[in-house]
Structure 1
Amino acid sequence: MGAADRADTKLCLPAKHEAVGLFYHYNAHVNYLHYVIHAPSVLELLDHIYSRPVDKAEPTQVALLMGMLAGAAYFWNPTAGVFAAEEEAKHASSAWLEAALEVLHQARRVQAVCLEEVQATIIVSYLVYNLEGFSSRFRLLNTQALGLARDLSLHRMDDGPLRPSPHERLIQSEVKRRVWWHIVSVDWLLAFTPGPQEGTYLVNPRHMAVNLPQNADDQQLEHGRRLPPTQPTTMAYFLQRVRLAEICRHVADAMTEPPFGLRQTDSATLRDLDAHFVRFLDCLPPFFRLDGDDSSRQKIERQFPHVGIQRFLIHLGVHTRRSKLHQPWLARGYREPEFAFARDACLQSSRTVLQVARLLEEERQNHAFAPTSRLCTVVHHVTMAAVVLIVDLCFTKARGAEEERRKLEIVDACQILERSRRESAVAEKMLMELNDVLKRHKVHLPPVMPSTGPPIATVSADYSGFSEPVPGVQLPSGQQGNAAAPFNSLLHESVDIGFNLDIPAWDKLFADLNACPIFNTDLPDFSL
């Protein structure tokens, strides 16, 4: 990288005290979502960057710093300071993101691969995901991160002669394991996520030799301490995410027969796959369970403030994928007793997704956390849950109080998305795509008044069966009212033939939704 390129990099860096402040914000409000750094080491790196002229700075280290600055600015809130307003933070986030991507591009021409380059690629890919969804740029960055990690032989770091030497710092080895297993978990999670990559993954577990990272905080690593999986740490969420990724890989392996889906799966295999998700929920440590003891959870959350959000994100991820597992039998389960259990499981998990999404909103309101509505994963989960409920309502011809209750569930999901669109370009895009797809298939839902409907189903603490969740939770008072503008057209303007669609028509509807830009193509550039 030439001097001119380094000078351009300097223009993108804030004053050191602002960089330190934003890093602390990143470490507190973003890092817990994808823990691929060692915070004390990054602070040392930051001091190193600012202690010398910019033309002496390593480009990949600068890219790593700018990636974290971009993430901190994207998830900014007023408690972080530095910026006067949200729009200013968004502008800075966009500038740092593009600068980080450019520095990484330039560095690959002149510099050997290093760990900071892999970390920077992971961090910017996560931000791109939240801005664009499962875009081609996001998928390309994930593939690049995997290739870079293999160039560093991270996939063999615990294999015989490549095992870390006694002289290599324990911290460095653990960070490498965090980086590798993050890449692997994303790869396997995407294998059971709608998009062109569904049903495939790039990392074969037989072609790697990397121990799982320790369940230990950064400070505990420095003292060589490790804790059992049942103990809360900053790595506990990371390790549960790896467990879920392994289940998704197992489901993808069951999709290997043409047409590379689950439609030909027999009921016994389907029950076996479902059991993986049920066991996952049953084996969660108490602080990640929805039915845990409130007093003990409050004590844990005082030490680990983000455990609540992590708990909800885990359940969103599990239940969305459990619902997706049974989605092909949603309509068939209404007519074919053999697959009635699949319909029940699909609906139960979709309703749980919406309840957990509301709990996540409450968690955000009760704490000074960065806006969770900017998380693309929440938008994705809520959208797919809404579609499942719409399909089932139209297909089963519910009437009377049951019809009103189920309409209210759908409106509640629409309102969650409507609130998210104020802070998420992906949410706004999904609202438009969902509206377009449903109108294309001529699905009509009569307008409802949420304030007069029956209560929405709450989360069931029993994951061992397929029973419906128990009714009992009303919409929060602040969420009463009609669905907002995009869904008014959905509710009022479509042609009322939804109840007459046959099973192939609903299959086509799901296929169209899986082809939405959130899963396949680039969205327009983030508008600031």
Structure 2
Amino acid sequence: MGRQPRQRPISCHLCRVRKLRCSRQFPCSNCTSRGVVCQHEGVAVAAPAAGSRPPVESPAVKDMSTMDLLARLERLESIVAAQGRERTEPPPSQRETPKNESERSAHPSPATVSRPVPPRLQRLTADALQLERSCSDQVLTDSLISDPIIFRTCPIRLAPGQPPYTFQNPSFQNNHAPSMVGPMDVVKCIWLPQRDEMRVILQKYIVDISLFYHIVHVPSLQSLVEDIYAGLEANVRVDVGGVLLLLSICASTTYAWSPPDDIRCLFANSAEANGQSTFWIKQALDVIGHSQKTAHASLECIQGLIILFFVFCNHESVSFRARNVFMYAISMATELLLHRIDDPTASSMPTLVRMSEAKKEIGRRVWWFMVATDWTLAQFSCPQEGVYLIHKHQMAVNKPRNTNDEDVIEGVDIIDRPETEATCMSYFVQRIRLAEVCRALLDRTPLGTQASESIAYQDILDVDAKLNKFIQNAPSFFSVNYPGLDELPATDIRRSLFITAQRYMLNLLVHRQLCKIHLPYLAQGTIDPAYAYSRDACLRSARIVFELDHQLQNENLPFFRSRLRLSMVLRSVFLASIALVLNACLTGDAEDTTEGEDEVAGAWKILHEVQDQFPPAAKLLELSIKILRKYKIKHRALDLLQQQVSGIAPYNNSFPMTPESANQEIRMSSVQQNIGTETENVLLEQHWQMLEGKMDLNTIDWDKLFWGIDAPFI
């Protein structure tokens, strides 16, 4: 019998080399415990991790080597890649040929089907990106650039007389580290009203002011007040952003304080309250300076900045100071990632992770209000005219829901109610839609480009159509002629005071915008039928502005007494007055009607009522009367104004019509002191020729025409 061939070893390579007892079930237990590849006659079997169950393999896979599997996968990938290139590559005639082979190698195209990145490489990449982000988060030590600040309370009527600085010792722990203050250091002191007084101020703000820019969550705001005053009473650190919010509310509320508010018994009269507004503005500015030095950023701080921005607008129009506060609010909002609240790629960022769903909803309100304000500001006659800062493609934020504050609760799903249902956010939602229409006009006319007259006018007509469509699509309870409103029960929210005030304000904004875009064509519309529509539309919107004012007066709302202290209301009245006076000068004596004369007189009466509160109103009234007296010396509106308003001063003083005429007047005053009236008449005649259509009306700068009243018109 011949020699039998040697039997194949049944132990794996590791067990044979180290003379171990092999379990003969591959991978064997020895290889598994050591975490090495179990090799058996050329077949390498990876050992599973310790503690894990070995995978169940099919017979076909068990007999196939790892190298064979990898080879098959590579062949499959190459086939799929080739098929993908055939579908995506253009024909040879349309392909772009590189200039040379080196250019092709310098810009390799990524593979159509990329291989999966191992977890280890993913972790390394994530760590590298995190390190890169951390390099930009360098923070200066607050103690190096900021001074300590403390907050105290006193009776609100005594607050303006309190010292702005106080002596401080190290034992006081409010808002600074003990080691930062010496035994008798002089520290900036910010004064707040007493707790009960702050509650009254807050109630006034919620009822009469917040309804036009509802960027707060009332339950959270009320809790914030209690928390801040509890901290002040306990001499512990309080939130700087929360204090700024309260100071801004004080500034806004005292500015809007009217005689009906005297029953709240906080001030001797409304004049005393109005006089305190500038004090609270100064207090807020001091806190803003401290927040900038300490790099403070919070949602409450942004809310305070927005409210303070509107206070500045009411006091001094859209000034540089007002715009500076608003831009600071935008900068702080981006720091808090409010512009990425609903960005899936940013959901894991710590700033957003710490925000609850309720706070994110408030953040959406704050962000979208800044967006709407930014797009609207681009319509103002200021350095920002024609430019907005927030681009719609550079944010990922859903629009705020149409819901009441009571429905925004932690841990509860927020219900988005239909627009036809009135809520505290209804006006806000429509305000965003109106801002989108304003932005569309800016996008049609890029900055630095000048379209032909026909194209420019067609753009005006397109925007006019969008604004009228906006009015038609607005909820019915915002309609001026809402059918069946009087038949609703008194408890219906659609008859509430805040919906009534919002109805007035929303229609005022729309018709102000319509009046503004058609005003440059009003005079030309009297002689050119192509622009007759603009003349009619401008006058119709101007008349609606005053009709809205009369309707609001009949509603007997507390808001009516303070409405003319709001910058937007005043601007709308100014613009409507300009249109009516200009039309009165353009029409012939035979065209004058009693209705038109009453309209002009009514507009003048409103301007006379507010001239003590807002000096530009007096200047506009003066200019309007001068123009009408020059071209319609016997106009009935002049007599009506004298009858309606007793003791009106004669308007004989001259003031410049435009910046150019102002410079001319200054140059001539030194040599021609006695011809002021003649110079004024010449200037009026020059501008009147422009208004009669003897010059290119589209080139008239309407803001410069009324520059003499020191207020930009919108």
Match of 1:485 in 2: 648
Distance 1:489 1:316, change over 3 A: farther
Please identify, of 52-61 and 287-296, the stretch whose mean Cα deviation from structure 2 is larger. Answer: 52-61
Match of 1:459 in 2: none
The answer as to whether partners of 2:512 and 2:572 remain within 8 angstroms in 1 is yes
Query: Equivalent residue of 1:32, what SS?
Result: coil
Structure 1 position 390 matched with structure 2 position 581? yes
Q: How does 1:323-338 map to 2 (within 5 A)?
A: 323-338=515-530
Q: Deviation digits for residues 398-420 of structure 1, max 9, x if unmatched?
A: 32363443232122111112222
Match of 2:391 in 1: 204
Structure 1 residue corresponding to 2:712, chosen from 519, 523, 526: 519
Distance 1:445 1:356, change over 3 A: farther
Q: Measure the CA separation in 1 of the matches of 2:436 and 2:361.
A: 20
Q: Deviation digits for residues 39-83 of structure 1, max 9, x if unmatched?
A: 111111111111123561222211111111221222222243322
Structure 1 residue corresponding to 2:205, chosen from 26, 31, 50: 26
The answer as to whether partners of 2:190 and 2:283 remain within 8 angstroms in 1 is no
Residue identity opposite 2:477 in structure 1: F
Structure 1 position 66 matched with structure 2 position 247? yes
Residue identity opposite 1:420 in structure 2: V
Q: Measure the CA separation in 1 of the matches of 2:190 and 2:493.
A: 39
Distance 1:179 1:283, change over 3 A: same
The answer as to whether partners of 1:350 and 1:388 remain within 8 angstroms in 2 is yes
Structure 2 residue corresponding to 1:305, chosen from 481, 497, 501: 497
Q: How does 1:102-141 map to 2 (within 5 A)?
A: 102-141=286-325
Query: Equivalent residue of 1:322, what SS?
Result: helix
Unpaired segments of 5 or more residues in structure 1?
Answer: 454-474, 521-528
Match of 2:602 in 1: 412
Q: How does 1:448-487 map to 2 (within 5 A)?
A: 448-449=635-636, 481-482=644-645, 485=648
Structure with a larger share of its residues in helix: 1
Please identify, of 365-374 and 256-265, the stretch whose mean Cα deviation from structure 2 is larger. Answer: 256-265
Q: Measure the CA separation in 2 of the matches of 1:331 and 1:303.
A: 40
Match of 2:566 in 1: 375
Q: CA deviation at 1:261?
A: 8.3
Structure 2 residue corresponding to 1:161, chosen from 345, 354, 366: 345
The answer as to whether partners of 1:408 and 1:448 remain within 8 angstroms in 2 is no
Distance 1:480 1:220, change over 3 A: farther
TM-score by length of 2: 0.63
Match of 1:36 in 2: 215
Distance 1:95 1:511, change over 3 A: closer
Please identify, of 429-438 and 144-153, the stretch whose mean Cα deviation from structure 2 is larger. Answer: 429-438
The answer as to whether partners of 1:195 and 1:514 remain within 8 angstroms in 2 is no
Q: How does 1:279-318 map to 2 (within 5 A)?
A: 279-293=469-483, 294-295=485-486, 299-301=491-493, 304-318=496-510
Q: Measure the CA separation in 2 of the matches of 1:388 and 1:490.
A: 23
Q: Deviation digits for residues 325-362 of structure 1, max 9, x if unmatched?
A: 12222122222222221221111111111211232333
Query: Equivalent residue of 1:383, what SS?
Result: helix
Q: How does 1:208-219 map to 2 (within 5 A)?
A: 208-219=395-406
Q: Measure the CA separation in 2 of the matches of 1:329 and 1:230.
A: 36
Structure 2 residue corresponding to 1:226, chosen from 416, 434, 441: 416
Please identify, of 14-23 and 405-414, the stretch whose mean Cα deviation from structure 2 is larger. Answer: 405-414
Query: Equivalent residue of 1:96, what SS?
Result: helix
Q: Measure the CA separation in 1 of the matches of 2:408 and 2:320.
A: 36
Distance 1:369 1:323, change over 3 A: closer
Match of 2:161 in 1: none
Please identify, of 405-414 and 150-159, the stretch whose mean Cα deviation from structure 2 is larger. Answer: 405-414
Distance 1:133 1:358, change over 3 A: farther
Distance 1:445 1:88, change over 3 A: same
The answer as to whether partners of 2:215 and 2:366 remain within 8 angstroms in 1 is yes
Query: Equivalent residue of 1:185, what SS?
Result: helix
Q: Deviation digits for residues 373-403 of structure 1, max 9, x if unmatched?
A: 21111110011111112222223x3323634
Q: Measure the CA separation in 1 of the matches of 2:291 and 2:447.
A: 42
Q: Measure the CA separation in 1 of the matches of 2:553 and 2:650.
A: 20
Q: Deviation digits for residues 73-102 of structure 1, max 9, x if unmatched?
A: 222222433222112212332211210111
Unpaired segments of 5 or more residues in structure 2?
Answer: 1-145, 153-163, 165-187, 655-676
Query: Equivalent residue of 1:91, what SS?
Result: helix
Structure 2 residue corresponding to 1:57, chosen from 235, 238, 253: 238
Q: Measure the CA separation in 1 of the matches of 2:193 and 2:256.
A: 17
CA RMSD of aligned residues (A): 3.3
Q: CA deviation at 1:267?
A: 4.5
Distance 1:168 1:300, change over 3 A: same
Percent of aligned positions that are identical: 27
Residue identity opposite 2:540 in structure 1: Q
Distance 1:102 1:305, change over 3 A: same
Q: Deviation digits for residues 132-166 of structure 1, max 9, x if unmatched?
A: 11222112212111111112111111111334978
Q: Measure the CA separation in 2 of the matches of 1:115 and 1:344.
A: 45
Q: CA deviation at 1:257?
A: 5.9
Match of 2:428 in 1: 238
Q: Measure the CA separation in 1 of the matches of 2:464 and 2:647.
A: 35
Query: Equivalent residue of 2:467, what SS?
Result: helix
Q: Measure the CA separation in 2 of the matches of 1:48 and 1:370.
A: 33
Query: Equivalent residue of 1:295, what SS?
Result: coil
Q: Measure the CA separation in 1 of the matches of 2:421 and 2:487.
A: 12
Q: CA deviation at 1:177?
A: 0.6
Q: CA deviation at 1:285?
A: 0.7
The answer as to whether partners of 1:36 and 1:178 remain within 8 angstroms in 2 is yes
Q: Measure the CA separation in 1 of the matches of 2:638 and 2:297.
A: 58
The answer as to whether partners of 1:289 and 1:311 remain within 8 angstroms in 2 is yes
Match of 1:174 in 2: 361
Q: How does 1:75-114 map to 2 (within 5 A)?
A: 75-76=256-257, 77-114=261-298
Distance 1:214 1:124, change over 3 A: same
Match of 1:48 in 2: 227
Match of 1:457 in 2: none
Distance 1:102 1:167, change over 3 A: closer
The answer as to whether partners of 1:449 and 1:481 remain within 8 angstroms in 2 is no
Distance 1:330 1:486, change over 3 A: farther
Match of 1:467 in 2: none
The answer as to whether partners of 2:525 and 2:534 remain within 8 angstroms in 1 is yes
Distance 1:37 1:366, change over 3 A: closer
Higher relative contact order (CA 8 A, sep 6+): 1
- Work out the number of aligned pairs and report it: 490
Q: Measure the CA separation in 1 of the matches of 2:618 and 2:449.
A: 29
Q: CA deviation at 1:432?
A: 1.1
Q: Measure the CA separation in 2 of the matches of 1:142 and 1:158.
A: 23
The answer as to whether partners of 2:512 and 2:542 remain within 8 angstroms in 1 is yes
The answer as to whether partners of 1:63 and 1:117 remain within 8 angstroms in 2 is yes
Q: Measure the CA separation in 2 of the matches of 1:182 and 1:389.
A: 32
Query: Equivalent residue of 2:712, what SS?
Result: helix
The answer as to whether partners of 1:135 and 1:518 remain within 8 angstroms in 2 is no
Q: CA deviation at 1:316?
A: 1.0
